[in-house]
Amino acid sequence: MADSVPIATYVMVIFFIYVSHLMSTLGKPKSWTYLLPPKLPNIHLADRLSDDPIAIKLASTDFGNIVKEIPAAVLYPSSNNDIASLIKFSHSSSPPFQIAARGQGHSISGQAMARDGVVVDMKSLRNYRNGNGVKVSSAASSSMGWYADVGGEQLWADVLNATLEHGFAPVSWTDYLYLTVGGTLSNAGISGQTFQYGPQISNVYEMDVITGKGDFVTCSPEKNTELFYAVLGGLGQFGIIVRARIPLEPAPKRVKWVRMLYNDFSAFTRDQEHLISINGRKQKNAVDYLEGSLLMSQGPHPNNWRSSFFSLSDHSKIISLLTKYGILYCLEVVKFYHDDHTLASMEMEVQVLLEELSFIPGFVYEKDVLYVDFLNRVRSGEIKLQSQGLWDVPHPWLNLFVPKSRISDFNYGVFNDIILKRNITTGPILVYPMNRSKWDDRMSAIIPDEEVFYTIGFLHSSGFDDWGALDVQNKDILQFCYDSGIEVKQYLPNYKTREEWKYHFGIKWRTFQERKNQFDPKIILSPGHRIFSTND
């Protein structure tokens, strides 16, 4: 038929069938038929697109609650093929339309949004995986050992539960587990295990990725290497991750969780750096997790949504210490253990370790909890805030990587001179070091050029009217770093101009650009980062 009917008539017939189908199923024409190319490749895919106001509203917001970009439609995929068809269709359209994968939308400034384009709601895939969203296997014959094949749309909380059923777990985590595998692998995925195991992007064997051309590609360090490293920390620019193979290790049962307080920043960082220098996986005296945070009488409180740790009586002692010093530094470490047989030796190791540290005598606090509860420690804070209507508020967050050589200048200029003096900070401030050697420079993620660098997370919450002051404070922090020559790199980066992105990527900018050209030449994917534009 296609050969005998003029092409224009053929297109019109297809278009007519397609619009009639939509009218009959939904009773009204969809607005995206005006914004997106009218010819969709098949009616089945059109069924999965929605411009329902609720769907559009959800896809135009994120955890940051500051940026809003309205898409033309939301795709609810039922398979990887749906995603590939959508991207292929855009790739063959003139002009192409933009597409953003949305995991949980836990981004801060519109990174998972697509103005006038299509947002792919990845969580829809969870309904169609038929129990295969997380598949645990062992390749005893190869060097791989135990691993899990997980859908890019899966939550890390679900990965944990599924792998624990086999007595195994991934080794590198984020503090909060209700994030998607695809979302954190597009950034880095960091937490207190990063100093030892590297970020989550250092713990991936293989991935299935649908590129910006709509090609389905399996990649690994051995196969399609360029795509593999491009995608890890690649801010969703090169493809949509639909499967990742994650290494597993035997899961501990319980953890000893210790927090210590310091009033002297250099003692605090010296101890942190000492502890992360012992980072061999099998080293007995190594801790299994290390983080740190700031405490202030106003602002970052001893207990906060990230974890409620201190008892009421500890709390009042800490508050009087805070009144004396204004600012305290809290070092947090964890040692894992498997059972009662290993408890005694673990406790001995912790005691030896504590003796080497210079926290304020008497200000050390311990807890013993289940491993799973430790990993899921942020969830209860989230549920509490949700019940008070305080979770879905603006979050003007700023996350930075600061080179070790300048961390004391940062403390002086930012923590003491900006944060303490302005006294407007609301929410946890994280401060902990990691080792560059645990990252792979071929990946797209950007970190400072020193072996040890700190992550600093200003995790602000605010009211809908007053996030502006925190935003100004964030800008002033960045300006201070710039003026002082502190070469910070943003984690979960948020820039507006090409110049800023070039500066961010530094010598990796050229590679990043070339990879974009190779895997998403029509600049379709993840427009919310504003790195590339179709006008380039």
Residues labelled as active-site residues:
106, 175, 291
Smallest separation (angstroms) from ligand FAD to the CB of 184: 4
* Residue (33 or 85) nearer to ligand FAD, CB: 85
Angle ∠(83,84,89) on CA atoms, nearest 5: 100
- The 3-class SS string of 464-531 reads CCCHHHHHHHHHHHHHHHHHCCCCCEEECCCCCCHHHHHHHHHHHHHHHHHHHHHHCCCCCECHHHCC
**Residue from the set 188, 327, 429, 446 that interacts with ligand FAD by CB under 6 A:** 188
Smallest distance from ligand FAD to CB 285, Å: 25
Piece in contact with ligand FAD (CB under 6 A), picked from 27-35, 76-84, 95-103, 362-370: 95-103
- State the Cα–Cα distance between residues 100 and 120, nearest whole angstrom: 6
Per CB under 6 A, which of residues 127..186 are in contact with ligand FAD? 152, 174-176, 179-180, 182-184, 186
Of 471-490, binders to ligand FAD (CB under 6 A) are none
Instruction: Tell me, residue by residue from 298 to 337, as one string, x for binding to ligand FAD by CB under 6 A and - for no binding.
Output: ----------------------------------------
Out of 70, 201, 207, 240, the residue judged to bind ligand FAD by CB under 6 A: 240
Give the x-and-dash track for 53-92 against ligand FAD (CB under 6 A).
Answer: ----------x-----------------------------
Handedness of CA 203, 206, 208, 211 (dihedral sign): positive
x-or-dash string of contact with ligand FAD, 109-128, rule CB under 6 A: --xx---------x------
Q: By the 8 A CB rule, do 327 and 295 touch?
A: yes
Closer Cβ to ligand FAD, 67 or 360, answer by number: 67
What is the DSSP pairing of strand 239-247 with strand 145-151? Answer: antiparallel
**Closer residue to ligand FAD in complex, CB, 180/196:** 180
**Residues 488-507 as x/- pattern, contact with ligand FAD by CB under 6 A:** ----x---------------
Whether the bond between 77 and the residue before it is cis, its omega within 30 degrees of 0, is: no
Choice between 299 and 493, CB closer to ligand FAD: 493
Which CB sits closer to ligand FAD, 61 or 184? 184
Side chain identity at residue 128, one-letter code: Y
Map the footprint of ligand FAD across residues 7-46, applying CB under 6 A.
Answer: none
- With CA atoms as reference, report the closest residue to 74 among 92, 100, 95, 111: 100
Task: Enumerate residues 6+ apart whose C-beta is below 8 A from 318.
Answer: 261, 295, 302, 310, 328, 363
Task: Please give the size of the binding site for ligand FAD, defined by CB under 6 A.
Answer: 34
Q: Rounded to whole angstroms, how far apart are CA atoms 500 and 213?
A: 27
Q: Which two tokens stand for residue 536?
A: 């380039």
3-state helix, strand, coil in the chain (%, to 5): 40, 20, 40
233 vs 529: CA distance, rounded Å: 13
The yes or no reply on residue 191 touching ligand FAD (CB under 6 A) is yes
Stretch that binds ligand FAD, among 236-244, 313-321, 355-363, 511-519 (CB under 6 A): 236-244
Among 106, 256, 377, 516, binds ligand FAD (CB under 6 A): 106
Nearer to ligand FAD, 264 or 471 (CB): 471
| Shortest distance in whole angstroms from residue 138 CB to ligand FAD | 25
Amino acid identity, position 110? G
Of 215 and 314, CB closest to ligand FAD: 215
Residue 244 in the binding site for ligand FAD (CB under 6 A): no
Q: How far is the CB of 231 from ligand FAD (least distance, A)?
A: 7
Please say whether the beta carbons of 268 and 275 come within 8 A. Answer: no
Our CB check for ligand FAD shows the closer of 105 and 198 to be 105
Compute the distance between CA of residue 411 and CA of residue 470 in angstroms, rounded to an integer.
18
The reply to whether 196 sits near ligand FAD by the rule CB under 6 A is no
Could you give phi then psi for residue 214, rounded to 5 degrees? 85, 10
Nearer to ligand FAD, 107 or 279 (CB): 107
Amino acid at 192: G
Helix (H) or strand (E) holding 139: strand 134-139
- Nearest approach, Cβ of residue 185 and ligand FAD (Å): 7
CA distance 119 to 124: 12
CB of 159 vs ligand FAD, minimal distance in Å: 12
Binding residue for ligand FAD (CB under 6 A) from 75, 86, 235, 296?
Answer: 235
Pairing between β-strand 239-247 and β-strand 452-458 as defined by DSSP bridges = unpaired
Distance CA 180, CA 178 (A): 7
Q: Which of 105, 214, 302, 448 binds ligand FAD (CB under 6 A)?
A: 105
Task: Say how far apart CA 90 and CA 75 lie, in whole Å.
Answer: 13
Q: Is 241 in the site for ligand FAD (CB under 6 A)?
A: yes
353 lies in the binding site for ligand FAD (CB under 6 A): no
Residues paired with residue 364 on neighbouring β-strands, in sequence order: 260
How many C-beta neighbours within 10 Å does residue 514 have?
Answer: 12
Residue with Cβ nearer ligand FAD (146 or 238): 238
Residue in the structure block whose two tokens are 């001179």: 417
Which residues are CB-contacts of 131 (< 8 A; sequence separation ≥ 6)? none
- Kindly list the residues in this chain that would bind ligand FAD in the complex (CB under 6 A): 63, 100-107, 111-112, 122, 152, 174-176, 179-180, 182-184, 186-191, 235-236, 240-241, 492, 526, 528
